[in-house]
Structure 1
């Protein structure tokens, strides 16, 4: 199961890492826990008994950044977010676990895709995300 990043601090930590891969419209950032380093939470007991349930570094965590300035219509932003989630699920077997942030970094041209949620936009986004995540090696 893939959890969702919701905290601004989690997004900030992941976005401070270098881009693993980038395409004309998207960028992928990844943050993983150092081997052997336990995750520290402010509410954790002095001696950790294992990984806490809400530890954002253990397992798969996904954050999506789709700014309104790059995709003006809410329908388009929602379509892009759904394609991002599905792309990570499709490529999950060869990508390392940790915090993933997929970011839309360039505007979607409304002249090229006049419909807010067209099949052509869906296919273009899916193809570009598959290429983006396919280039990442474990």
Structure 2
């Protein structure tokens, strides 16, 4: 199952990294990490244990940043479809559905935070209808190619021969 990124701090963290793959209309960013903890929930846990009047005081929870780094435990998807690139809400929703469907078709995605960003608009001359089948198919095909490119192993530089 793929979780949904909702908090701005998670989007900032992922979009601050270099894009993993790009296509004509989309950019794909990945960060091998879990979402940041909910600040309100973490503060509530710390204060609730300190305010108990019964028993000994319990140790406060450590901040997440101080814990040792560990592998992410799941996959979270964030979607950025700005209004300047898709003026009609019907088009924005169609693109979001296609992005979610493209990720759902790939159950073996590496864990971490994923953000797909629409970086340029689709040509309104080619796709005059806001939610046409042609636009749906074009977006799905481009997203499939984008995910294929992102999941290919990266080429590492070859070690130079020692003379």
TM-score by length of 1: 0.82
Equivalent residues in 2 for 1:44-59, closer than 5 Å: 45-46=60-61, 57-59=72-74
Shift of 1:47: 5.5
Unaligned runs of 5+ in 2: 46-59, 64-71, 154-163
**Are residues 1:26 and 2:26 paired?**
yes
Q: 1:69 is matched with which residue? A: 84
**Per-residue deviation, 1:89:** 1.2
Q: Distance in 2 between matches of 1:92 and 1:69?
A: 32
CA contact (8 A) 1:5 1:62 kept: yes
> How many pairs align?
125
Q: Return the index of the structure with the highest Cα Rg.
A: 2
RMSD over aligned CA atoms reads 2.1
Structure 1 unaligned regions, length at least 5: 49-56
Change (3 A) 1:40 1:85: closer
Structure 1 segments of 4+ aligned residues over 6 angstroms from their partners: none
Output the TM-score relative to the length of structure 2.
0.70
Q: CA deviation at 1:5?
A: 0.7
